[in-house]
Amino acid sequence: MEIIDIFFNLDVMRRAFPILMRGLLNTILLGASAIFFGGILGVLVCLVRLYAAKPFRLLAVLYTDIFRAIPVLVVLILVYYALPFAGIVFSSFVGATIALALVLAAYTAEVVRAGSKPCRAASSRPAMRLACLSLPPCAR
């Protein structure tokens, strides 16, 4: 009976439930905003990497390589703790959104770039032989 009282204390659960729901709402808002801004930035970085002049392409490659190599926690710490030393101060929500969007944009840029490359005939012929004949007529 004592273990049930310790781990399943209904009074504590009742007091913690609104706090947990507020955290869930903040998590959903943070994820949605990071996906939105990271997706837009990622597509823009991909377009720069594919169609811009060579110096801008190199900057886009450098951006994607750096932000894909750095762990997300390090980017979060840099945005939240290091930028205030440079005079750039964000709220915790905006800082987390910026950090997550920067990392997501690097991955999105690579996914969009890889998806925009045409499939070589050497890759599509074996797929056709493996009975992947469900392609529409325009794609054959």
118/100 Cα distance (integer angstroms) = 30
Structure tokens at 43: 């597509």
Poorest-pLDDT segment among 10-14, 46-50, 62-66, 123-127:
123-127
78/98 Cα distance (integer angstroms) = 11
**Can you give the C-alpha Rg of the chain in angstroms?**
23
What Å distances lie between residue 132 and 59, 107, 123, CA to CA? Answer: 39, 29, 12
pLDDT of residue 122: 60
Tell me the CA end-to-end span of the chain in Å, nearest whole number.
68
For residue 130, report the phi and psi dihedrals to the nearest 5 degrees: -85, 25
Over pLDDT 90: what percentage of the chain?
65
**pTM of the shown model:** 0.76
pLDDT of residue 97: 96
Whether the pLDDT of residue 119 is over 70: the answer is: no
If DSSP codes are grouped into helix, strand and coil, which group holds residue 120? coil
Whether the pLDDT of residue 99 is over 90: the answer is: yes
Average pLDDT, the chain: 86
Whether the pLDDT of residue 124 is over 70: the answer is: no
Whether the pLDDT of residue 125 is over 80: the answer is: no
Question: What is the per-residue pLDDT across 1-50, written as a single tens digit (0 to 9) for each?
Answer: 577 777 788 888 889 899 999 999 999 999 999 999 999 999 999 999 99
